[in-house]
Structure 1
Amino acid sequence: MTDQATVEPIWKAVAARAETLGLSVADNAAETTNDPDIRLVAEDGREIRAVRHTGNTYSFMVPSTVSDVRIVSRTARPSEMIGPFCDDRRDLGVVVGEVVVTNGRDRSVLTDHLSDADISGWQAYEGGVGRWTSGNALLSLGNAGEGLFARMVEVEVLVAGPYHVGDSAQAAVQVA
């Protein structure tokens, strides 16, 4: 058995027994944050920081010539953040819900990430209203070169963190 509901009570019982025997139990207490340090990275490597963060929505001004961006954020593994009794070793960034692109009067909701499609940088779709990134997820905005000088891209982040404080968002961003 590897599910947390079965393993966690056993792990805690063994840890308690070790403590009564005077053995030290590994303490993984590290400073954490729920700040995902989220940003978009354009095809040319240009980093785009949010111009506004309201609630769980991050708003970015993206040049109209950019057709694809990557959603880049901190990552963490549940097995390291929750405890050794959690058997989830995926690198998780953020859960992205609704993505809205506004270009002048045109408003479109992007939904490609909410499918079973194998998209670079996204974890397997588990159903529901959001999907986990791996910390460097491809987002196709389409319509490059059309319309205004910039368009607003709003990314709804449903879940973020916890992350280890010392871990900055991925330094090396793949533009591929």
Structure 2
Amino acid sequence: MMDPAVALVLCLSCLLLLSLWKQSSGKGKLPPGPTPLPIIGNMLQLDAKNMSKSFSNLSKVYGPVFTVYFGRRPTVVLYGYEAVKEALIDQAEEFSGRGSFPVFEKANKGKGVIFSTGNEWKEMRRFCLITLRNLGMGKRSIEDRVQEEACCLVEELRKTNGG
């Protein structure tokens, strides 16, 4: 019969190996980066008080595009002007999406202006812009409408005689 302490160590070792295997199997599509620890990721390798220095050091080793893990979540870091310019200007369509926020996705069912993504976000944005333009946004006439409504409000307030 096996000692309980040996069984516990064996189980923890198996869980650790399984976690490492799962992390390494998902890294195939991501840029290179430092090897993360299970559960905490690269938190011990980063200086929270001086992140830019940590990213600068990592970029010297892994290049201007690298992956770090904040906990179990991988994050791709673009370090330097050229890397950011290429991503946001030269390949704007591929980088135009937003990250996911599971809590808000569940609550809003992927709807809304702030936390929606993809085609849903594009349609919502288009609708909002068309509606705001129809109301006069971006035109001189909206100022006239606001002035007119303000005058009407002042007149109504004067009729109450401070009551």
- TM-score for both structures, normalised by structure 2: 0.22
- TM-score for both structures, normalised by structure 1: 0.21
The structure with the larger Rg is 2
Structure with the bigger RCO (C-alpha within 8 Å, sep 6+) is 1
More helix by share: 2
More strand by share: 1
